Amino acid sequence: MTPGEDPICPLCKRPIPPRAKRSLHHLVPRLKGGAGGPVVLLHQICHNEIHATLSEAELARGYDSIEALRAHPRIARFVSWVARRNPAFHSRSDGRGRRRR
């Protein structure tokens, strides 16, 4: 990334402009041993969708990389949908997709 260039969200591949809501995502959840592990900067809406879709245990077990997250069917549909939105777009995520155990 060059100076003045917006970072790119690795999940949706859109730029993250300064005015966009953003957050860091631990690839392995902190509560599952990932406190010192790698983090990625995401749009807040992308981060919300990850946590609305997958539990902490599911994230730790098999969705600990951007590639694995992008391969999940619901997240893949979300990425396709959000890719058509303005990079600063934000809305609440629907958390009804995750199965409660």
For residues 59 and 70, what is the distance between their CA atoms, to the nearest angstrom? Answer: 12
Average pLDDT over residues 59-87: 96
Do the Cβ atoms of 92 and 48 come closer than 8 Å? yes
Query: Mind listing the pLDDT tens digit for each residue in 12-47?
Result: 999 999 999 999 999 999 989 888 999 999 999 999
Determine the average pLDDT of the residues in 68-75.
98
How does DSSP assign 19-54, residue by residue?
Answer: TS-EEEEESS-GGGTTTTS-EEEEEHHHHHHHHHHS
